[in-house]
Amino acid sequence: MSTIREVVTIFVGQAGTQISNACWELFCLEHGIEPNGNVKKENVSPGNLFRTFFSQSQKGLFTPRTVVVDLEPTVIDEIRTGAYKKLFHLDSLITGNEDAADNFARGYYSLGQEAIDETLDRIRKICENCSNLNAFIVFRSVGGGTGSGFTTLLLEQLSKDYAKKLKMDFAVYPAPNISTVIVEPYNSVLAMHGTMDYVDCCFIVDNEALYDICARKLEVDRPTYTNLNRLQAQIVSNITAPTRFESVLNLNLEEIRTNLIPFPRLHFPLMAYAPIIPSHKAAYANTTVQQITSECFEPANHMVRCDPRIGAYMSCCLLYRGNVENRSEINNAIGFLKGTKSIRFVNWTPTGFKIGLNCLPTVTVPGGDLAPSKQTVANLSNNTAIRHAWTRLASKFDLMYQKKAFFHHYLAEGIEEDVFTDARANISALLEDYIEVET
């Protein structure tokens, strides 16, 4: 039996809380855990590896090893009264009394300071019950105040208290043409600057890319956040599957980090998933390894709006699930891709691809948008094209900063102007780093 290496998940802010609903719904389905924490005996996964994400209570019930925190109570109250209210330990759901008002400084300086001790205390208690703590995985949006400011404060503290533990970040970034918050550029630049040194690997998602996938590929006319979050949960499932299931060719979280991140600052991989087939077409789906491998390199299958074909790949991890019978199928698919010349690697990466293979097929939510598939693949790739997303964000930041627009809201909460200039300079340095590795 494999050693259980526990993972603590942390969901922050409104977006994080809503993503947690989708993730735990899917994880429970995968491991046969009912909404009240009972396990369906016939569904217990081999080796009990699901304990990496779940802990067992004295009554034998399983609860997520998680903390869900928001500075205002509304969204988390929906969990407390919803279908999964008995799944979570009540102390794991942490709320304040007022929201961060889409203001990084409120989340970091004023309101955040009131919630940080309770949050860290709960995380410490969870960690004390772990025998072999492996990693923290954080989910948040960087456009709002709590997801940007409070998460920055939290990651700073986690880096002090758990310096040697892996920290992964799933961050919803502002979409190019869909903006729900005017001050998103401020919050996002401040958040990225604030957490740059505290996160080992940050997977970026943007809502516009998810909307497009739901609308065009899954044929959902008006996608809701539930549609978007379930799609994101599916790829999170593929990334974490090696830690939760026995597999023939495993890639644990450390191996993913080691193989994806060539330089500490360039830790923003792209994510893609294939096949993406609407549930009403499930009967007609007939996929091959070569087909899904090619699909997961298409821009339309990526979870962030940028075109990897205009950048250069530094690294790529392909995580397969399902009845991929042998490694030669995968090798042939990769050989075909290399032959097309549409995938360009930087000249200092000789091999480029790292493969993971898990024989258990992906589970989909009954009645959901996505058709079940016998073979799926998640593509995690570190590509210099991500710098174009930073460039878009930086230019929007500059437009507001030149006028000092909305500035007084931030200064009133205790932030100093130097923090803005330092954050913007850090983005410029990051862009230079990407340009340098590409040439």
E-strand stretches of 367-418: 375-383
* 170, 365, 303, 253: CA torsion to nearest 10: 40
- Cβ neighbors of 392 (< 8 A, separation 6 or more) are 176
255: annotated active-site residue = yes
Residue type, 229: N
Closest alpha carbon to 300 in 336, 273, 268, 333 = 273
Integer Cα distance of 353 and 335 in angstroms = 11
Q: What is the DSSP string of 95-124?
A: E-SS--TT-HHIIIIIHHHHHHHHHHHHHH
Q: Which candidate, 69, 75, 56, 63, places its Cα nearest to that of 24? A: 63
Q: Rounded to whole angstroms, how far apart are CA atoms 382 and 376?
A: 20
Give DSSP secondary structure letters for 33-100: B-TTS-B-GGGPPGGGGGGGTEEE-TTS-EEESEEEEESSSHHHHHHHHSTTTTTS-GGGEEE-SS--
The two structure tokens encoding residue 169: 């970040």
Among 430, 423, 334, 350, CA closest to 389 = 430
CB atoms within 10 A of CB 296: 26
Residue 190, both tokens = 């401040």
**Which residue of the set 34, 156, 208, 255 is catalytic?**
255
| Element holding 138 (H helix, E strand) | strand 133-141
Contacts of residue 170, defined as CB under 8 A and 6 or more positions apart, other chains included, come to 19, 137, 138, 139, 140, 202, 203, 205, 232, 236
CA separation for the pair 285, 301 (Å, rounded): 17
Indicate which residues carry an active-site annotation: 255
